[in-house]
Structure formats: structure tokens, C-alpha cells
Structure 1
Amino acid sequence: MKKVRPIIAFRADGSATMGLGHVYRSAALARMLAPVADCVFFSRAIPTGLTEMLSSSYEASYELAVPAADEVNTMVEQLRKHYPDRPYTFVLDGYHFKTAYQRSIKALKCLLVCIDDIHACDYVADLVINHSPAANLTDYVGETYTKYALGPRFALLRNPFLVAAQSAENNLSAKRDRIFICLGGADPKNDTLTILRKLADYERVPAVDVVLGPAYAHQKELQSFLTDTTLKIELHRSLTAEQLVDLMQSSVVGITSPSTVSLEYLSAGGKLFLHQTADNQAGIYAGLIEKGLALDVATMDAEAFVSTSEKTPSPMDGRQAERLRKLFAALDLTWRLATADDSDLYLAWANDPDVRAQSFDSSLISPSEHAAWFRRRLVDEQSCLLIFERSRKPVGRVRFAVVGNEATIGYSVAKESRGHGLGVPMLHFAVDALRRERPKIERFIGYVKEGNIASVTTFRRLGYREEPTNDYPDALKFVLYDL
């Protein structure tokens, strides 16, 4: 029987005044999920100039010409009409989708995901995505079941940028002799012109590529400046993601707003300078500056264009799409602390032949030995044992041993639940659960036998770095620093 593909319904708005960031990043996520779901788009008004981009990202787009109070019912009616008997997940991207709006969707027994960057309300969503480097679990108030995908490991990037992040050609030996400027889809205050005037004060400025968004409304002023300036400027509009990557990869310096375009530039470009154009960009701005990933454009001088020996370090590894697909596939996954009643279950999982084969000590564990170990771990403050469940059925476990600011991970998936991609979401959600309780933990460490391909792949997919170790024979050590 052919597997029924789920429907993921996206709700976002954009305009010349509010910008197009919500629309762009929602579309990027839709493309990431396209291999596993059919995505549709709902908006109060389809932004002018984005029809082609939306059609390449979604199965269909619908305008909501109804009062705001009737939006949710209208979306559900459309979904039932066009996609009957299909499971629905909603994705909201916008500051007006506050707690009450979210509750109206959860009341339908639907799964819900929110894309956020300002954490201005309480969340009842199943998953919150915030790709800002400054995103922190302590910023959020959610339900006990609410899960989070925070930081650049979950950046909402289009596929060409993910490819560029993995490309061996994306290095300093590439010819980089231009300046890249892009201040978003709207640039309502015409900060592009402000930046160009700053560049005009320098001598020997490289050629400049200026990318204008579809909602840019200051063409007349810009053309007047171009008539008088000696800068070599090429204007670009309606570029594909592939064309943007090409421009970024030829640039020694990028000047962008601290929005999604800045994360795109970190995947493909050279040294990054930021110019904040909206209040909602404060989080990405602070995170990139604090982590040394970018500089404020106010600190830029002519020397920035001379040397190609510097490249902004990048947190992008190109695996964002596969991470997010794994999390979406496990939105119904829940976890709880283990209790004394779980002792036999833990022992059965631990003595599973496949688990023993991948353990550094492969001998069977005796019931008495396990019972003593389990009792100690339940009361040990440096230990944490989690049970993961799906539809109230146990599917796996994750355990932590904490020493100082480090936590060592052990995990296994129940035999009957293997092959369903649960390793990545289990480990990610478990780490977040422990971080909430113990925010001072700075590093998570996993030891894996070299031949344990499934676990090696899981840690790599989650962005853990491989480090040399002599702690165990034939072991690989994986460490997660980016918290």
C-alpha cells in the first residue's frame, strides 16, 4: 500500500512595510520538507513578485480573504476540500500568531510548529524553531510537550546554500574580489543607499553587487546616486538561490541585514558585516556578533576589502534540512524521567543482542547487577535517565552521566522501533531536556564504536564534532559545543 504523505500547511504574511522574511524562511522550510510531505501556503495576500518562488516551494497557495477570527476554520475547510483524509501539520511564521491563535489550531488535534525570532508569547506548539545564534531555551515559556530547534544547526536555508556549506570549493582559494550587499526583501528605510554612500568615501573599493528584494521601493533615489557615483555597482533583482550563491562566493566582504540572508552568507560568502534594519533582527545580530561570526558595519574600513586571508567562521554544515526532517517526523515523540518501574524495561533494552554488540563491554548484564546500578542512578544527582514514548508506547532511552560542565550520553532505540529515524530526535530532545534543568552544562559527549554506523550517522547529523580519543578501544568521540 502506498504511504499517505502528510500535508504541512504554512501560514505567513509579507509586504513592503513588514518585510518578506517570514515568507522567505517559511518557503525555505517547505523546500526542506518537500521530500517527505506536501506543503501548502496560506497568506492574507500573496506578496507581489513572489509567485514563482512560492510555486516552486508549495503544492498550492491560498489567499485568506476572511476576517482574522475565521482564518483557522477557513484553512481547515480548504485542506479538507483539497486533501481529504490526509494528516495535517500547521507551521506559523509571524508575530501575530500568539498563544490564542496557536490554541485554536491545537484544539483541532493537529500538530503545530512555530517559527520564531522574538519569543514574545507563550507557546503551545509541538515544536518552536528559532535559527538565531542567540536563541536560548530560557527565552521560552511552553507546554511540557513543546520541543525546540534552536540555533544555526536548524537554519532555514534553501538547498543551494546547504550545498555551498558542504562544498570543498567554498574556501579562501576561491577568487573573492567583490562586495556583496543585501538588506532583505523590502529595505523600507533604504539602508542600501546609506551603505553605498559609506563605501563611496573609501578609495580603491572593489566592484559592488547590490541585491534588491522584490518589495524594494526606492529605485528612483538609488538610480540618482548611481548616476553620480564612481563606484562600480551592479544591481540584481529576482535572483535565484543559485545566482545568490554565485555572487556570495565571489565576494571578499558581505554586508547584510542580520536576518536569514546573513545565515545564507555564512554558508557561501567571505567576511560578514551586519547592518540592522529592523527591531526583530536584534537576536541574530547579537548572536553573530557575540560568537565572532560577524562584525558591525560601523567598524568596517577600507582595509576590510584588501585581504582575502580572513573568512568569517561558519556554523553551517549543510545538514540543516535532514535534521529538521527528522524532527518533523517525530513531533509526536514524548519523554519522561525513568522510575523504579522501568528497571526491567531498561535491562531488556540493555541486553538486546544488537545493543550488547555495540557496547564497549559486550557481556550480558545480570539482573542483580542491573538492579543495583539502576537504583543508584535513579537517586544520583549526576545521572539522568529518560524514557521516550510514541503513542504511549516506549520506543527508546537516553541516559546522561554529568561531571562538572560535561554530560556523557548513552542511548538506544527499542528493536521494534529501529529504522524509523528516531535516533536524531531522541538525542536532540533529550539534550534540550537536560539543558533546561542544568543550563551550566557546556559540552555533550558521545562515545561510539567505529563500526556502529547508525550511531555515528546520528551524531554527525546533529552537528557533533569528531575528536580523537583514547578513552575506549576502537571508539569515536563526538562532542557538541554549539549550545
Structure 2
Amino acid sequence: MMPARTKILFRCDGSQQIGLGHVVRSCALAMMLGEKFECSFFIRDPSPALSRYIKEAGFALTSLPGTVIEEEAAAWAEHLEGDEILVLDGYAFNTRYQQLLKTKGNKIVCIDDIHAYKFVADIVINHAPGVDESMYSLSEGGKLFTGPQFALIRKSFLQQALNGKKKGTDDTIFVCLGGADPSNTTLSVIQNIYTRAQHLTRNITVNLVLGSAYKYEDTLALQETGMVQLNIFRNLSAELLIEVMQRCSIAICSASTICFEYAAVSTGTIFLCKTADNQAEFYTHMLQNKFAEDFFSGFYPEDGSFSRQDQHKFADLLDGKQRQRILDIFEELVR
């Protein structure tokens, strides 16, 4: 008889209000681990679309009621056996929450990008570039893994990185500001593209990808300039998203997982928008190292050339070997 696979329980939340970033990267991690571990999700009041996203990825989902966060941890701990690995991705899962879940000896992995409290977790992963590791406070024996070499992106993108990246057609632009974009930065980006394209003598194509929790689509019914063709895509599979990305030599995206996914499949130029406070370190490091440019201050198509930077340096960090590195971390936890 085959030995039972170790269970990994993922605790994360996502909504139109807070975005889908925690769920997207946790689901990507579960996809990396699913062949070796039994993965399932615990999410507070998931929307039908979010529930469908998790279940279509092949994972069981338990819906949690809204409650005081420490009460939630205490109640959850009572049902643990002690041999499960718990993955926490969210800013509410603070030191006390982790301590309550440690009462039966469970291993804990935290996915983090704000280092706002001490971690009693066994492992902390922050896949942003340029992390100042001295900002983290870990318990004795805790380990920290940082940088794009541990990027939590979907297997299809990692496989494409191994197969070879492509650079799309000049003057074809990819735009995606995440799964929810609660502040509707998407609208500002599209308006800026239209404004800055008014004096062009050539046509440009904008491939806009909207996430399942984006709620402002009616605001995008704008008067287009004759130089811009806007194509809107929604709820694309990973495979179709890769296809759209690889048509584009330019990406305008948030300083988040979507940036990693574009760099895994393309060597095109990246323009970033900071759409949430937790993206600050990622955004700053990308600009300081000339891996990307700021969209609102650096995107000027009228100069005749979009692709002014060589993005290979950042794209090379997304080498497709992230899954094996992550597997090594988790397999070491259960030895």
C-alpha cells in the first residue's frame, strides 16, 4: 500500500475588495505541490467565481464563516491532527494566529510581502525581488526564502519558461492589473494610452485582460482613438493567457504575480503600476534595477519606440525551475 500523502491546508482570502493576489499565488503553490502532497483550501466566504477557480484547479474547498481571527485559529487548531502542513497567505495571520496553530506541532509556511510581525512559522516565502531580509523577525529555526527564484506562478508559465520565451509584435500591448483591481487603475491606464496615442501615425493594439473579480467593465466603454484597437479578454485559462502575452512586446501590469507570469513567457518591455501598498518593495526594486519602468511617468509611445529597454536580465530570473526549488523546501519539512 502506498503511504498516505502529507496534507497541506491552505488558508487565504480573496474578494473584489481586497483583490485575489493571496488566492492566486497560493493556488499556484498548490499546483506545484499537488503531485506529491494532498492540498486543500480554507477561504472565508468565497464568491461563486472564486469557489469555481479553486475547484477547477482540482482542490477541495472549505468555506469559513466570518469570525474573530484568533477565535478562528483556536477552533481550527482543535481539528488538526498535528501532521498537516499549514500554508498561510494573508496579513491577518499574525504572530498570535500562528502560535495558536502550533499547539499540536503542525509545520507552518507563511507567504508574505510586508514583514509586519514576528513569524513563528517554520518557513517564510517572499518571492518579490530585492527583499531586505533583515526586516524579518523569525523564531529560532525559522527559514526565509526570497526572490524570483521562488516565484509562485502556475505550472504552465514555468513550463513555457523552460520551453523558451518569446517577444511579441511591436506596438501590441498587454494590460492586466490583477484579478480584482479594486481601485480601477485599469481605467486610468486605458485612458492614458488613448491620450498618448492621439498623435501617433501608426496603429497600436491593446490586449486588456480582466480578472474574475473586476467589477468596473462598464467604465471601459470609452471613445477610442483611430490609432488604438482595444481587445478585452476575461477569465482566460493559463494557456490562453500565455498566448495573449506572447503576442505583445509590451506589458503594463501591477507589481505582482502577473508581472512574474509575463516575464516567464516573454522578453518584452514591462511597465508597472503600483495598485496596492504591499507592492511597494517589488515596484521600487524593479525600477531601481531597470527591470521595468513606471507606466504613468515612463510610457510615451509618441517617441516612436515602445521597447527601449532590454528585459532579458529580469526574464532570466524566471528560469522555470521554481517548482523544483519549492518542492525541495516542502519535502525537507516532512523528512
TM-score, scaled to structure 2: 0.90
In the alignment, is the contact (CA less than 8 A) between 1:41 and 1:58 conserved in 2? no
Structure 2 residue matching 1:330: 3-state secondary structure = helix
1:92 maps to what in 2?
A: 88
In the alignment, is the contact (CA less than 8 A) between 1:206 and 1:305 conserved in 2? no
2:278 maps to what in 1?
A: 280
2:166 maps to what in 1?
A: 171
Letter in 2 for 1:180: F
**Tell me, which stretches of 5 or more residues in structure 2 are unaligned?**
none
Deviation (angstroms), 1:234: 0.7
Alignment of 1:102-251 (within 5 A): 102-168=98-164, 170-172=165-167, 175=169, 177-200=171-194, 201-202=196-197, 203=200, 204-223=202-221, 225=222, 227-230=223-226, 231-251=228-248
- Structure 1 78/239 Cα, relative in aligned 2: closer, same or farther at 3 Å? farther
RMSD: 2.1
What per-residue deviation string (whole Å, max 9, x for no partner) do you get for residues 215-251 of structure 1? 112122112x1x5543210111111111111111110
Larger Cα-atom Rg: 1
For the residues of structure 2 that align with 1:262 and 1:66, how far apart are their CA atoms? 32
1:322 maps to what in 2?
A: 324
For the residues of structure 2 that align with 1:330 and 1:36, how far apart are their CA atoms? 13
Structure 1 residue matching 2:49: 3-state secondary structure = coil
Deviation (angstroms), 1:144: 1.7
Q: Which gives a bigger RCO, structure 1 or 2 (Cα 8 Å, sep 6+)?
A: 2
Letter in 2 for 1:4: A
**Farther off after superposition, 159-168 or 124-133:** 159-168
Deviation (angstroms), 1:191: 1.2
For the residues of structure 1 that align with 2:55 and 2:225, how far apart are their CA atoms? 38
Letter in 2 for 1:190: N
Deviation (angstroms), 1:75: 3.5
For the residues of structure 2 that align with 1:150 and 1:58, how far apart are their CA atoms? 27
- Structure 1 147/233 Cα, relative in aligned 2: closer, same or farther at 3 Å? same
What per-residue deviation string (whole Å, max 9, x for no partner) do you get for residues 9-36 of structure 1? 0000111111110010010001011011
In the alignment, is the contact (CA less than 8 A) between 2:109 and 2:125 conserved in 1? yes
Letter in 2 for 1:114: C
In the alignment, is the contact (CA less than 8 A) between 2:108 and 2:122 conserved in 1? yes
Deviation (angstroms), 1:79: 5.8
For the residues of structure 2 that align with 1:78 and 1:57, how far apart are their CA atoms? 25
For the residues of structure 2 that align with 1:22 and 1:305, how far apart are their CA atoms? 38
Structure 1 residue matching 2:115: 3-state secondary structure = coil
Alignment of 1:299-338 (within 5 A): 299-302=298-301, 306=305, 311-313=310-312, 314=315, 315-331=317-333
1:47 maps to what in 2?
A: 47
Task: Give percent identity, aligned residues only.
Answer: 38
For the residues of structure 2 that align with 1:195 and 1:126, how far apart are their CA atoms? 40
Letter in 1 for 2:192: K
What per-residue deviation string (whole Å, max 9, x for no partner) do you get for residues 170-228 of structure 1? 234x64551000001111221111111111122235110111111112122112x1x55
1:348 maps to what in 2?
A: none
Deviation (angstroms), 1:113: 0.3
Structure 2 residue matching 1:50: 3-state secondary structure = helix
For the residues of structure 2 that align with 1:282 and 1:99, how far apart are their CA atoms? 23
1:380 maps to what in 2?
A: none
Letter in 1 for 2:166: N
- Structure 1 307/218 Cα, relative in aligned 2: closer, same or farther at 3 Å? closer
What per-residue deviation string (whole Å, max 9, x for no partner) do you get for residues 329-356 of structure 1? 1126xxxxxxxxxxxxxxxxxxxxxxxx
1:75 maps to what in 2?
A: 76
What per-residue deviation string (whole Å, max 9, x for no partner) do you get for residues 225-278 of structure 1? 1x5543210111111111111111110100000011111111123110001111
- Structure 1 305/312 Cα, relative in aligned 2: closer, same or farther at 3 Å? farther
In the alignment, is the contact (CA less than 8 A) between 1:19 and 1:186 conserved in 2? yes
**Tell me, which stretches of 5 or more residues in structure 1 are unaligned?**
81-85, 333-389, 391-483
Deviation (angstroms), 1:284: 1.0
2:2 maps to what in 1?
A: 2
Q: How many residues align?
A: 324
Letter in 2 for 1:276: K
- Structure 1 107/4 Cα, relative in aligned 2: closer, same or farther at 3 Å? same
For the residues of structure 1 that align with 2:138 and 2:224, how far apart are their CA atoms? 54
Deviation (angstroms), 1:307: 6.1
**Farther off after superposition, 120-129 or 302-311:** 302-311
For the residues of structure 2 that align with 1:154 and 1:182, how far apart are their CA atoms? 22
Structure 2 residue matching 1:153: 3-state secondary structure = helix
For the residues of structure 2 that align with 1:320 and 1:305, how far apart are their CA atoms? 37
For the residues of structure 2 that align with 1:305 and 1:278, how far apart are their CA atoms? 31
1:472 maps to what in 2?
A: none
Deviation (angstroms), 1:65: 1.6
Deviation (angstroms), 1:134: 1.9
Structure 1 residue matching 2:333: 3-state secondary structure = coil
In the alignment, is the contact (CA less than 8 A) between 2:255 and 2:279 conserved in 1? yes
In the alignment, is the contact (CA less than 8 A) between 1:162 and 1:317 conserved in 2? yes
What per-residue deviation string (whole Å, max 9, x for no partner) do you get for residues 271-329 of structure 1? 10001111111011012112221111121111687466854121110010110010011
